[in-house]
């Protein structure tokens, strides 16, 4: 055995004063030790690969317009002679009621579903943070009005609000283009409705957090230095509630994807030829026994996505909450 001298010791064995670990590094470490979160992350990465590169494999010969198509036009090619065909080599997930390739539609629908999920979660977080922070910061009658409103919204079951909202705003917006893709206005409607019906819990969490932060010395100091209300809220109070915001936003994406699926399942979701995982399921239950591939593939993709996001959200909750010691 070689003699141990200071020179042979590798540098990281010697205890040297290292830089203090930032909360971010600690958080990432805790997250990486969370087994389920890592499984969820892996699942999500696979799904992202599926919806981003799966399109490369979606191609075929579209008989009605007599052309070889690939990418999104292929997902919209409806060949009525091929309707409700079971999975086969040319259509690995089968075809839908108007003869479109389900495999291609799950890919492009997945992109829209995820976009709806993420955008709705952003709307939710902005609304929730705004209502919660304003209520807690100003207190008094602002607080009571906002919180009574929040309570009232919480009392009405979410799905009913979604259904009414979808009817209320449905079809009111024109089609638009995004990243070169034609999208129906109902995509925006669905995003706004899901965001507008899901911010209530977040508002309560933010309010409770800001209430406890408001009286801290650093806030008084900032106020004494002449910081404006908006500066206090945006740079001193809200950044200190980042952890619950991130966790809620993550879980919000999962809930928004589910909400889109429910609303679409009831026939009130995204309209037109734009595919989403939700509206691929619209009416599919009528083909329960004759064409199970209609609902099985989009439904399973929703399940896997929501599962992955929930795993990651659970991991983030444990990683970002310094008081939580679960799963460690």
Instruction: Count residues binding other proteins (CB under 8 A).
Output: 41
Angle among Cα 127, 131, 133 to the nearest 5 degrees reads 115
Residue 99 within binding range of other proteins, rule CB under 8 A: no
Q: Is 310 near other proteins (CB under 8 A)? A: yes
CA-wise closest residue to 291 among 281, 301, 300: 281
Map residues 252-271 to x or -, x wherever contact with other proteins holds by CB under 8 A. --x---x--xx--xx-x---
Helices (H), 34-138: 35-53, 72-75, 102-138
Both tokens assigned to 176: 């638009």
CB of 156 to other proteins, least distance (A): 6
Buried b (16+ CB within 10 A) or exposed e, 129-162: bbbbbbbbbeeeeebeebbeebeebeeeebeebb
Tell me how far apart the alpha carbons of residues 169 and 221 are, in angstroms, rounded to a whole number.
45
Shortest CB 49 distance to other proteins, Å: 20
> Between residues 255 and 274, which has the closer beta carbon with respect to other proteins?
255
Q: Measured from the CB atom, is 268 or 275 closer to other proteins?
A: 268
Stretch that binds other proteins, among 11-19, 89-97, 306-314, 316-324 (CB under 8 A): 306-314
Bridge partner residues of 176 (DSSP): 183
Rg (CA), the chain: 25
Q: At 36, phi and psi to the nearest 5? A: -65, -35
Q: Assess 307 for contact with other proteins (CB under 8 A).
A: yes
Interface with other proteins, residue 120, by CB under 8 A: no
Quick one: which segment of 25-33, 135-143, 155-163, 237-245 binds other proteins (CB under 8 A)? Answer: 155-163
Q: Please tell me whether residue 158 binds other proteins under the rule CB under 8 A.
A: yes
Write the binding mask 171 to 210 for other proteins: x where contact by CB under 8 A, - elsewhere: ----------------------------------------
Q: Is 84 in the site for other proteins (CB under 8 A)?
A: no
Burial of 296: CB neighbours in 10 Å, binned 0-12, 13-18, 19+? middle
Q: Could you say whether residue 153 binds other proteins (CB under 8 A)?
A: yes
| 122 near other proteins, judged by CB under 8 A | no
Q: Is residue 167 a contact residue for other proteins (CB under 8 A)?
A: yes
Name the segment binding other proteins (CB under 8 A); options: 25-33, 48-56, 89-97, 287-295: 287-295
- Determine the Cα–Cα distance for residues 83 and 95; give it in Å rounded to an integer: 6
Residue with smaller CB distance to other proteins, 50 or 149:
149
| CA gap 133, 27 in Å, rounded | 25
89/96 Cα distance (integer angstroms):
16
Interface pick for other proteins out of 155, 179, 180, 230 (rule CB under 8 A): 155
Residue 281 binds other proteins, judged by CB under 8 A: yes
Q: Which of 21, 46, 80, 303 binds other proteins (CB under 8 A)?
A: 303
The CA distance from 71 to 55, in Å, is 5
Q: Smallest gap, in angstroms, from Cβ of residue 53 to other proteins? A: 24
In terms of Cβ atoms closer than 10 Å to its own Cβ (0-12, 13-18, 19+), residue 14 is: exposed
Q: Which residues bind other proteins (CB under 8 A)?
A: 36, 148-149, 151-153, 155-160, 163-165, 167-168, 254, 258, 261-262, 265-266, 268, 281, 284-285, 288-289, 292, 295-296, 299-300, 302-303, 306-307, 310-311, 314
């Amino acid at each position: 055995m070689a003699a141990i001298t200071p020179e042979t010791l590798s540098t990281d064995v010697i205890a040297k004063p290292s830089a203090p670990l930032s909360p971010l590094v600690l958080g990432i470490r805790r997250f990486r030790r969370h087994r389920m979160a890592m499984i969820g992350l892996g699942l999500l990465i696979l799904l992202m690969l599926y919806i981003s590169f799966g399109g490369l494999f979606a191609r075929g010969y579209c008989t009605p317009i007599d052309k070889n198509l690939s990418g999104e036009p292929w997902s919209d090619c409806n060949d009525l002679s091929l309707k409700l065909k079971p999975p086969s080599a040319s259509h690995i997930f089968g075809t839908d009621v108007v003869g479109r390739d389900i495999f291609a539609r799950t890919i492009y629908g997945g992109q829209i579903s995820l976009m709806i999920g993420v955008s709705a979660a952003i709307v939710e977080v902005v609304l929730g943070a705004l209502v919660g922070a304003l209520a807690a910061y100003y207190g008094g009658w602002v607080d009571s009005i906002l919180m009574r409103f929040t309570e009232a919204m919480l009392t009405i079951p979410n799905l009913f609000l979604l259904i009414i909202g979808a009817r209320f705003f449905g079809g009111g917006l024109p089609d638009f283009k995004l990243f070169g893709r034609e999208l129906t206005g109902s995509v925006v409607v669905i995003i706004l409705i899901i965001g507008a019906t899901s911010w209530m819990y977040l508002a309560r969490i933010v309010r409770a957090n800001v209430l406890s932060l408001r009286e801290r010395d650093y806030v008084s100091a900032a106020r004494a230095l002449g910081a404006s209300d908006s500066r206090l809220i945006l740079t001193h109070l809200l950044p200190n509630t980042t952890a619950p915001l991130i966790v809620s936003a993550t879980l919000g994406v999962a809930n928004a994807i589910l909400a889109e699926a429910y609303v679409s399942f009831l026939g009130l979701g995204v309209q037109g030829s734009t595919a989403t995982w939700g509206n691929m399921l619209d009416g599919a239950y009528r083909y329960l026994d004759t064409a199970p591939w209609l609902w099985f593939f989009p439904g399973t993709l929703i399940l896997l996505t929501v599962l992955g996001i929930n795993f990651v959200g659970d991991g983030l909750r444990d990683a970002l909450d310094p008081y939580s010691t679960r799963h460690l």
